[in-house]
Amino acid sequence: TGLLALWFILGIGYSVSQTPTGRLIRKSASSENRTALFAAQFAFSHACWLITYPLVGWLSTSFGTLITFLPMAFIALVSIVVAFV
């Protein structure tokens, strides 16, 4: 039940952060560079997943789900700070 609650909370957080991305790119880009910006966002998000998915897998099998949440929350917090700076 704890894992389901964690998945639910993470899913809400992901949805809240990803839903406005398309609107933000459309608003910030001209029609000439919009495709390039969408491609760059796609590539960057998948590069982040390439790093964090194996890290989560390794940490959760080594230390458990709740311990894994701490470094992932730290990565998320740093990402939020960098996004607003």
Give pLDDT tens digits for 28-43: 889 899 999 999 999 9
Res 18: pLDDT: 79
Q: Domain count of the chain? A: 1
Per-residue model confidence as pLDDT tens digits over 76-85: 899 889 988 8
Q: Which residues of 26-38 are buried (b: 16+ CB within 10 A; e: fewer)?
A: eeeeeeeeeeeee
**Contact call for residues 13 and 72 (beta carbons, < 8 A):** no
Whether 61 shows a pLDDT value over 90: the answer reads yes
Res 46: pLDDT: 92
Q: With cut-offs at 50, 70 and 90, classify the pLDDT of residue 15.
A: confident
Integer Cα distance of 34 and 21 in angstroms: 12
Q: At what angle do helices 34-63 and 65-84 cross, to 10 degrees?
A: 150
Residue 38, domain extent: 2-84
